[in-house]
Amino acid sequence: MQHRQLGKDGPDVSVIGLGAWPIGGGMGVLEEQASIATVRAAIDSGITLLDTAQAYRTSESTLGRALKDGYRERCFLATKVSRQYAPEEIESAIDNSLKSLGVDYVDLYQIHSWNPAYPIAATMETMARLQEQGKVRFIGVSNFNAAQMQQAYEIVPFHSNQPRYNLFDRAIEGEDLAYCGKMGIGILPHSPLAKGLLTGKYTPDYIFPDDDERSDRPRFQGALFGQYLAVTEQLKGIAGDKGISMVQLAIAWLLRQSEVTCVLVGAKNPDQVKEHLGAAEVQFSEDELNRMDEILQDTPEG
């Protein structure tokens, strides 16, 4: 497994991470044993960065059970405070997360999203206090744009931003990516497979079960779903020519950017994790990247 340094002066982490939203049941309820096997397979195969959040339903407690028997010491554990960011809310959120995860500290504590209802100065100062207390080793943010990162960074420097970034969602490629590059803030892309649209395994007639978040997302229904899948079908042609899978193409396309530290990929079983690992070594030629850009011009709006 390859590693990259987190931010300017953080530790090295694996370039492929495990996103733990699916094991919280948000994309359909999973058996706990399958979740534990997935987490342990990821760590056993060299993935170090595991990402969860206060808001990920049962993810933290399931992850906590998976990290027993010596697994916690082998990973770089990231979680997030979600939605409410008053100092006392952050302080109680971290204590709850540590308890659910069954750990004394987390390696990366992230602000899940920008919330204008809470002054960023007080939020960042609280995050720094948790660091002084040893509950948190490094601080990060998530879904912040360049202007928001700048406001936060002026209060307390931090190591990472976790934006949505994949072949279909490229909004960060303007000033946000450049800001991270300039400041040495590591990018941890979330939803790298566009939540399944980029796996190449779905057909337009597929109906997601009610307990799966995708069951009421416009991108996963009707004509729009079909349009996304048609673009993926074209991209699959390039993956096939290279002898890699569509999933590996989607992950490797993100890793070509030096600002990207670790791609957080969700998985539901050890086989999915195994496939992700194959993306770490893939390189693209200029011609392949141009072909992909051409195909992506057909990406629908929405």
Give contact residues for ligand NAP (rule: CB under 6 A): 19-22, 27, 51, 112, 142-143, 162, 190-196, 199, 201, 247, 264-268, 272, 275
Kindly tell me which of 21 and 179 has the beta carbon lying closer to ligand NAP. 21
Please classify residue 151 by burial: count the beta carbons closer than 10 Å to its beta carbon, then call 0-12 exposed, 13-18 middle and 19+ buried: middle
Shortest spacing between CB 52 and ligand NAP, in angstroms: 6
Pick between residue 10 and residue 192 the one whose CB is nearest to ligand NAP. Answer: 192
Least Å distance between CB 46 and ligand NAP?
A: 16
Name the DSSP class of 299.
P
Residue nearest to ligand NAP (CB): 266
Residue 68 CB, nearest approach to ligand NAP (Å): 20
**Pick from 208, 214, 223: nearest CA to 300:** 223
Given the complex with ligand NAP, which of 132 and 299 has the nearer CB atom?
299
Q: Which residues pair with 293 in a beta bridge?
A: none
If the CB atoms of residues 143 and 145 are measured against ligand NAP, the closer one turns out to be 143
Least Å distance between CB 243 and ligand NAP? Answer: 16
Residues near 116 by beta carbon (within 8 Å), at least 6 away in sequence: none
| Helical residues (DSSP H) of the chain, grouped into ranges | 32-44, 59-66, 87-101, 120-132, 146-155, 175-183, 222-242, 246-255, 270-277, 286-296
CB of 124 to ligand NAP, least distance (A): 18
Order across the sheet with 76-81: list the strands. Answer: 186-187, 160-162, 136-142, 106-111, 76-81, 49-51, 16-19, 263-266
- CA-closest candidate to residue 232, choices 257, 255, 206: 206
71 vs 165, beta carbon nearer ligand NAP: 165
Query: Between 68 and 201, whose beta carbon lies closer to ligand NAP?
Result: 201
Residue 208's CB is within 10 A of a number of other CB atoms, namely 18
- Report the 10 Å Cβ neighbour count for 252: 22
Cα 54 from Cα 5, distance rounded (Å): 25
3-state secondary structure 51-99: ECCCCCCCHHHHHHHHCCCCCHHHCEEEEEECCCCCHHHHHHHHHHHHH
Q: Which two tokens stand for residue 249?
A: 């193409």
